[in-house]
């Protein structure tokens, strides 16, 4: 009788959207390539939905081995399920691997039901492990594992692999049963065209795990793209760290676009592009944007501080190069976004504010994402000496995973967020978050962007002077719409530092998913938009000496923000009059191409293509969540 093998790689659901369990699939595909394993083992279901652990346990029968793929979003679930499996089947081998395991094997000390750990890649290790366990052989010659040997825990030699010709889980049929057994499920996929990363950024565990870049065979990559299209996989992402680094990446892009035209799938594509953005990356983004497959082009810095960059072993492109790239992408109509990480060692409140000013001065008005730094045990930042050197202090909070379906979890998951370093006391971490929310919600989400741009370009006002004053106003006027949501976020941040709450906001008025703080702030204010603008008007007016111009500009700002029709009573028809050429003026600024000067001349404007949001839930989903990286939050091209 064949021995039963099960794998577990669960994720949180996004409604009816699920990712195919790629990491588990790669292990199964590699194991099945061995004839002995095919003869001796039966690979049963891969658990990919976050079901009740007892329900999963009921479907597991006489397991020889259960392998768990560990990430920050499923580690506690894996532990709970593994513990129950071991209790019911004490002879079963429990194997843990993935990105969220202890780097030194100490998980075996704290979790006695785990028998073995695999470090790093598993395609070559997993088959050897199965065969050795089947034959009762010693595990000492298998690299990159830790295991129990009687009462002793042993670890084997760590090696880096050089192959990249592993069998594909898609092309070998690993996922076919999942598709057949789950009709109506909207599946997303993960692929690789290359593995490894030439960089060693301290906050990331890719560079720590891999160094040398290895490329998968073209036959596999093109074959997988065909498979995704033929099986109507809605969207996919590449696990590559630097897509666009190689010339053949443009050929893969051509194939994606061709398949989208032929099959209608995949619809969307997301990837981390090469750190050194170049003409090839631009060309790739242009093709994807024209095919309506793009999730936006990433022009990331993580931090604008040279000291922080040195501390995290990262070198950014120059700000002049960034400006040039922004202009190029804007001219082609390709959306961009820039990512920052809050809490990196060496960052101060002042350097953080100055960094955002630098990005805004360079023209990044589409989207800035600020992520709180997640401490990862397998990253360079996970080294105890690194932690000690920079005074890193983390808090353990409910997992920081927004946009997941709001359901009571049987097993909660946790994030480890950096809230204090030698350069950043906890009070500054709170202030940095509040300032970040203010800029992201009220500038990039469009609520006050017209006022901020005019004051900057015509009055020489620094963006930070405007938005720091706005934050102060909200804190001093907690009865206002903006003041209420800022107070709510501040209270939550204070609770986070005490490990009493998480960073994700839940509000069923806005949908059945959780929201990051800046998105929650924007949805909260949109829900009371008329009151928000009535309350904030005196504050904004104080920056203007020309009150007539202010009245016209403020009216234009209210009318051009994308919104549900009923958000501004009396403006449901999307037609309005303005005494200035605001559309042409702001289009020039936001495109990066000098446009006409602001002139006092009457215009009758009409929004010809309203945003797809009939109510607050559609606004939250279509504009804030799905559209944040790709949709401008104010009307420009849509105005005649």
| Confidence class for position 1, pLDDT limits 50, 70, 90 | confident
3-state secondary structure string, 382-404?
HCHHHHHHHCCEEEEEECCCCCC
Residues 6+ apart with CB under 8 A from 370: 339, 340, 341, 342, 433, 436, 440, 518
Identify the CA nearest to 17 among candidates 48, 46, 55, 57. Answer: 48
Task: Please give the pLDDT value at position 574.
Answer: 81
Amino acid 17: pLDDT: 84
pLDDT tens string 31-48: 999 999 999 999 998 999
| Gap between the Cα atoms of 242 and 475, Å rounded | 41
Segment 359-380 shows an average pLDDT of 92
CA distance 30 to 208: 24
Query: What pLDDT sits at residue 572?
Result: 61
Q: Which of 266-270, 274-278, 495-499 has the lowest mean pLDDT?
A: 274-278
- Phi and psi for 49 in degrees, rounded to 5? -95, 145
Q: For residue 318, name the pLDDT band (cuts at 50, 70, 90).
A: confident
Kindly give the pairing relationship between strand 186-191 and strand 297-298. unpaired
Dihedrals phi, psi of 171, to nearest 5 degrees = -80, -15
Record the tokens describing residue 199, joined without a space. 């960089």
What's the distance, CA 188 to chain centroid? 15
Rounded to whole angstroms, the Cα distance separating 209 from 422 reads: 27
Average pLDDT of span 557-578: 86
Q: What CA dihedral angle connects 627, 631, 635 and 636, to 10 degrees?
A: 180
Instruction: Out of 100-109, 450-459, 464-473, 577-586, pick the least confident.
Output: 100-109
Among 529, 531, 596, which residue's Cα sits nearest to residue 560? Answer: 529
**According to the model, what pLDDT value does residue 210 have?**
46
Distance of alpha carbon 79 from the chain centroid: 25
User: In this structure, are residues 50 and 12 in contact, taking their beta carbons and an 8 Å threshold?
Assistant: yes
- Helix-helix angle 426-439:463-476, to 10 degrees: 110
pLDDT at 200: 80
Question: How do beta strands 63-70 and 194-195 pair?
Answer: unpaired
Q: Which two tokens stand for residue 267?
A: 């619809």
pLDDT digits (tens, 9 = 90+) for 167-221: 999 999 999 999 999 998 899 999 999 998 877 888 887 654 445 789 999 999 9
Answer CATH for 3-155 from 3.40.50.280, 2.60.260.20, 3.40.1390.30, 3.60.21.10? 3.40.50.280
Structure tokens at 284: 């790739």
Q: Where are the domains of the chain?
A: 3-155
Tokens of 22: 């790629």
Please tell me the predicted confidence (pLDDT) of residue 211: 57
342's tokens: 């809050």
Q: Using the predicted structure, report yes or no on whether residue 430 has a pLDDT greater than 60.
A: yes
Q: How far apart are the first and last CA of the chain?
A: 73
Looking at residue 315, its pLDDT comes to 82
Residue 106 pLDDT level (bands cut at 50, 70, 90): confident
Question: Which of 25-29, 288-292, 346-350 is predicted least confidently?
Answer: 288-292
Whether residue 298 contacts residue 281, with contact meaning beta carbons closer than 8 Å, is answered with no
Quote the pLDDT of residue 326. 86
Residue 277, pLDDT score: 66
CA distance 371 to 436: 10
Mean pLDDT of 421-433: 98
Residues in the chain: 640
Residue with token string 């501040």 = 490
- The pTM of this model reads 0.91
Q: Which of 162-171, 267-276, 515-524 has the lowest mean pLDDT?
A: 267-276
């Amino acid at each position: 009788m064949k021995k039963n093998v099960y794998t577990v790689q669960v994720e949180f659901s996004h409604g009816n959207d699920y990712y195919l369990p790629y990491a588990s699939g790669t292990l199964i595909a590699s194991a099945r390539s061995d004839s002995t394993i095919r003869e001796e083992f039966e690979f049963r279901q891969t658990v990919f939905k976050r079901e009740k652990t007892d329900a999963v346990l009921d479907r597991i029968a006489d397991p020889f081995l259960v392998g768990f793929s560990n990430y920050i979003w499923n580690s506690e679930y894996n532990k709970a399920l593994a513990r129950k499996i071991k209790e019911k089947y004490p002879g079963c081998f429990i194997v843990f691997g993935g990105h969220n395991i202890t780097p030194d094997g100490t998980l075996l000390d704290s979790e006695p039901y785990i028998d073995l750990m695999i470090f790093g890649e598993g395609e070559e290790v997993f088959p050897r492990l199965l065969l050795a366990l089947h034959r009762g052989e010693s595990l000492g010659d298998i690299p990159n594992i830790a295991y129990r040997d009687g009462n002793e825990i042993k670890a084997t030699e760590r090696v880096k692999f050089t192959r990249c010709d592993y069998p594909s889980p898609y092309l070998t049929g690993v996922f076919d049963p999942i598709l057949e057994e789950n009709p109506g499920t909207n599946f997303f996929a993960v692929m690789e065209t290359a593995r490894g990363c030439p960089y060693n950024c301290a906050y990331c565990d890719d560079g720590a795990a891999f160094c040398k870049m290895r490329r998968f065979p073209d036959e596999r990559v093109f074959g997988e793209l065909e498979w995704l299209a033929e099986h109507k996989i809605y969207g996919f992402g590449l696990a590559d760290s630097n897509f666009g680094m190689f010339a053949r990446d443009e050929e893969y892009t051509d194939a994606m676009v061709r398949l989208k035209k032929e099959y209608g799938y995949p619809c969307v594509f997301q990837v981390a592009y090469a750190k050194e953005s170049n003409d090839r990356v631009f060309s790739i983004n242009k093709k994807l944007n024209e095919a309506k497959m793009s999730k936006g082009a990433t022009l990331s810095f993580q931090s604008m501080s040279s000291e922080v960059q040195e501390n995290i072993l990262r070198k950014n492109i120059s700000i002049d190069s960034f400006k040039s790239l922004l202009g190029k992408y804007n001219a082609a109509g390709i959306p961009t976004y820039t990512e920052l990480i809050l809490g990196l060692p060496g960052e101060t409140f002042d350097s953080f504010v100055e960094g955002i000013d630098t990005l805004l001065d360079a023209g990044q008005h589409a989207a800035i994402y600020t992520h709180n730094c997640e401490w990862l045990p397998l990253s360079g930042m996970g080294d105890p000496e690194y932690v000690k050197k920079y005074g890193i202090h983390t808090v353990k909070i409910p997992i920081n995973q927004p946009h997941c379906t709001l359901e009571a979890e049987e097993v909660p998951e946790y994030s480890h967020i950096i809230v204090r370093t030698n350069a950043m006391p906890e009070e500054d971490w709170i202030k940095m978050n509040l300032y970040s929310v203010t800029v992201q919600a009220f500038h990039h989400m469009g609520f006050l962007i017209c006022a901020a741009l005019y004051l900057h370009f015509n009055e020489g006002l620094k963006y930070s002077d405007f938005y720091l004053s706005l934050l102060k106003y909200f804190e001093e006027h907690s009865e206002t719409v903006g003041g209420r949501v800022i107070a709510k976020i501040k209270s939550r941040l204070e609770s986070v530092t005490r490990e009493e709450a998480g960073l994700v906001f839940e509000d069923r008025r806005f949908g059945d998913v959780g929201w990051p703080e800046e998105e929650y702030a924007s949805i909260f204010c949109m829900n009371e938009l008329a009151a928000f603008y009535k309350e904030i008007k005196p504050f904004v007016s104080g920056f203007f000496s020309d009150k007539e111009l202010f009245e016209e500009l403020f009216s234009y700002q209210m009318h051009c923000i994308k919104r549900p029709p009923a958000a501004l009573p009396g403006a449901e028809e999307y037609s309005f009059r303005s005494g200035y050429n605001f559309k042409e003026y702001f289009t020039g600024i936001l495109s990066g191409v000098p446009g006409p000067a602001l002139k006092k001349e009457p215009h009758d404007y009409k929004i010809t293509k309203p945003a797809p949001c009939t109510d607050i839930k559609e606004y939250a989903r279509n504009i804030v969540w799905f559209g944040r990286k790709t949709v401008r939050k104010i009307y420009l091209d849509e105005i005649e």
